[in-house]
Structure 1
Amino acid sequence: MTAELNGGGPHAVHLVGAYYLDALDDREAEAVRNHLDHCAPCRTVADEMVETIAAMAVLFEPDDIARAGEADADEDQEDPPPD
């Protein structure tokens, strides 16, 4: 995947979201960064992705996200067996 991006292969569109969410390893992140430096169509997608991520951050307060995570954890726990 990295070699394809550096070698002028396919666009990095499929990796842009993961890049901005810091979900890529160092080599992949560097390949995406390099690709975005030279590819206007992928930069456009990246700009739109950043706007979407920022909008989502505005919609949800950190405390809301933490509470949602706690609720999910509570749902995952099994009820103790009846006495």
Structure 2
Amino acid sequence: MAPAGPVRATDTDDAAGERIRAARKVAKFTQQTLAVEVKVSRQTIIAMETGDYAPSVYLAVKVARALGTTVEDLWG
């Protein structure tokens, strides 16, 4: 059975976190602005940027669209 709630990454993905942070800054979003845009907490955005959180495919698509990029560019 799949766990309920957020999933912690088994290994940190620092490169993806750096790409997410860079794309967010290019889009001129704060962590809070991005969080509101994709309807998650700011802590979730922080966890993605530190590589500690593996988002669902649905959330990854929402983040990529909000930042004007692709899932592959952020997590690929």
Higher RCO (CA-CA < 8 Å; seq separation 6+): 2
Q: TM-score, normalised by structure 2?
A: 0.29
User: Quick check: which one's helix share is greater?
Assistant: 1
Q: TM-score, normalised by structure 1?
A: 0.27
